[in-house]
Amino acid sequence: MSLNIKDDTASLTYDAIVIGSGISGGWAAKELCEQGLKTLVLERGRNVEHNKDYPTATTPPWEFRYRGRINRQQQEENPLITKAAGYSDDCDHFFVKDADHPYVQEKPFDWIRGYQVGGKSLTWGRATQRWSEFEFTAPERFGYGIGWPIGYDDVAPWYSHVEKFIGICGNKDGLEAMPDGEFMKPFDMNAPLTHIKQKLNENYTDRHLVHARWAHLTDPQQVHLDQGRGKCQARNMCMRGCPFGGYFSSVSSTLPWAKKTGNLTIRPHSVVHSIIYDEKLGKASGVRVIDANTKEVIEFKARIIFLNAAALNSNLVLLNSKSNRFPNGLGNDSGLLGKYIAFHNYRASVNADIDGFLDKYYFGRNPTDLILVNFRNLHKQETDFFGGYTTFMNAYRDQHPDETSAGQIGGQYKDDLCEPGNWHVFAYLQGETVPKESNHVRLSEDKKDQWGIPLLVTSVSYDDNDERMVKDFHTQTSEMLEKAGCKNITTYNNKQAPGLDIHEMGGVRMGKDPKTSLLNQWNQLHHCKNVFVTDGACMASTGNQSPSILYMALTARAATYAVSEMKKGNL
């Protein structure tokens, strides 16, 4: 569906403004528009429409000059963004160019961004497991963070609301560390993983290898067909944009749905400078925008503002939203805006070989992995590190002849190319990190971008807690794979900088006390009630589960509350 992008400024006043069009921004737009609000979505990047703007979605590999691989010029011109998981020549158009969007790294930080309508929802990992009650309560229980103002029961119905609409494949496993949701059938578990799962059950009582939950349509329901989406074809080319709508993105799902209401306006090429605070009204009155192309300054007005620019950009916008009332950034009476930035620990992996199963294969290119559910620090603090970790795991077969093949040329070698090789297993860490006040972002005092907005300074780093978690992951995962009969087990620590995990969180965290947080239980700024922040910036801690579906659930919850409060005259 065409979104009929409105790039003029004839209408400057709306009921609601949403800053950002990615995973959470798309949900804000859907919920606000469905509930009758004339809504403007501001996107700093270009327009992208479903299918129309997926130029490589069906291009075969041999039509790419380097078979989709990154060439030397791309890497030299973009040393940062080319590190991103999934970045390649077939999808580089969904990622920023380094030179266009600079920032200041006080400590090494790889800030991965995609500026277009749909944002990073076009290139996200698509893992969608629910947070458990353990994750909401652990920081306060074990003393490494503040208490969340909400718990699992507050979010559970909104998880269901989101899951039914976007489509999640998975299995109901009855595990308290990874709650069940609204699922369609999962992809098959291949033979070696089924074997490993069995061996774990035989050797442990707390190690559960299960189908992960992923935003892929394996059995589309009517609501998905009504969105114009179809079944996932197991191509595993998601980063290019899916012409079938097989995985969830704002572009294929929430934004077109919002457009159907007649209440949506999207304005691309709109770089948000700041949120405007009205001293007389005691609340925000609108958003100041710089046109990305003309550099024209435009001010849009609205009664409700949702900030969904992705965690660090949301921090930047608030820090730059200064007024007499808020000289240090909108809502920043606590002085904590931009602080307690956290992320996920992706440094560790384990690889192994497993014999046998040579008569077994798998269907298509499965775009999902399994999860070994977190078993650390649940009911009690039992390790020398805080937090828990999710383990993603999969098994695959070589796609080339092994060393027993007769030479590297000739008929026998050609025949061997048609047969898959041996099985291998890999596992990688997604670990919780501890939010610390010293991990922060702030505005540069002397450097600005091409639109005259101060550059963001990132000062974020790992600590000893993260290193102890990596060590435990290596030890435990190696032991489990060994008991499952794997061999040639190797561990690896990539020592990547924060940011490359693309799960940055915090800086505008939720909390019970305005002295220690920026947002209340409804994702409202404590001191500016008509501004809501529901992307990763709102997180009080990182948990170990993938966060994107929590952002969506929090957004739907906050939007419904905002509309209710507006109708009561409270906003």
Render pLDDT for 98-115 as a digit per residue (tens, 0 to 9): 999 999 999 999 999 999
Count of Cβ atoms closer than 10 Å to residue 320 Cβ: 18
- At 444-473, the pLDDT tens digits run 999 999 999 999 999 999 999 999 999 999
- At 193-209, the pLDDT tens digits run 999 999 999 999 999 99
Residues 506-523, mean pLDDT to the nearest whole number: 98
Q: What pLDDT score does 400 carry?
A: 73
Q: How far is CA 165 from the centre of its chain?
A: 18
Those residues with Cβ within 8 angstroms of residue 493's Cβ, 6 or more apart along the chain or in another chain: 347, 348, 470, 474
| 276 membership: H or E segment, kind and range | strand 270-278
Q: What pLDDT score does 68 carry?
A: 83
CA atoms within 13 Å, Cβ hemisphere of 470: 18
Residues 57-72, mean pLDDT to the nearest whole number: 89
pLDDT of residue 9 exceeding 60, the answer is: no
Those residues with Cβ within 8 angstroms of residue 553's Cβ, 6 or more apart along the chain or in another chain: 155, 158, 159, 161, 162
pLDDT band at 404 (very low <50, low <70, confident <90, very high): low
Cβ-contact 97, 75 below 8 angstroms? no
Q: Which two tokens stand for residue 404?
A: 């027993």
CATH architecture of 13-568: 3-Layer(bba) Sandwich (3.50)
DSSP 8-state class, residue 364: S
Amino acid letter, 286 = G
426 - beta bridge partners? Answer: 351, 394
**In terms of DSSP bridges, do strands 440-448 and 454-459 run parallel, antiparallel, or are they unpaired?**
antiparallel
Residues 376-384, mean pLDDT to the nearest whole number: 97
DSSP 8-state class, residue 336: -
- In the chain, what percentage of residues exceed pLDDT 90? 91
Q: Domain locations in the chain?
A: 13-568
The 3-state secondary structure of 457-512, one letter per residue: EEECCCCHHHHHHHHHHHHHHHHHHHHCCCEEEEEEECCCCCCCCCCCEEECCECC
CA–CA separation, 435 and 371 (whole Å): 24
DSSP 8-state class, residue 132: P
Amino acid letter, 418 = C
Backbone angles phi and psi of 22, in degrees to 5:
-80, -145
| pTM strictly above 0.85 | yes
CA–CA separation, 81 and 65 (whole Å): 20
| E-strand stretches of 292-345 | 297-307, 339-342
| Angle separating helix axes 464-483 and 191-203, nearest 10 degrees | 100
Where would I find the H helices in 173-319? 191-203, 222-226, 254-260, 311-319
Residues 269-276, mean pLDDT to the nearest whole number: 98
Mean pLDDT over each residue of the chain, to the nearest integer: 95
The length of the chain in residues reads: 571
pLDDT of residue 7 exceeding 50, the answer is: no
Q: What pLDDT score does 415 carry?
A: 77
Q: Is 299 exposed, middle or buried (0-12, 13-18, 19+ CB in 10 A)?
A: middle
- At 540-557, the pLDDT tens digits run 999 999 999 999 999 999
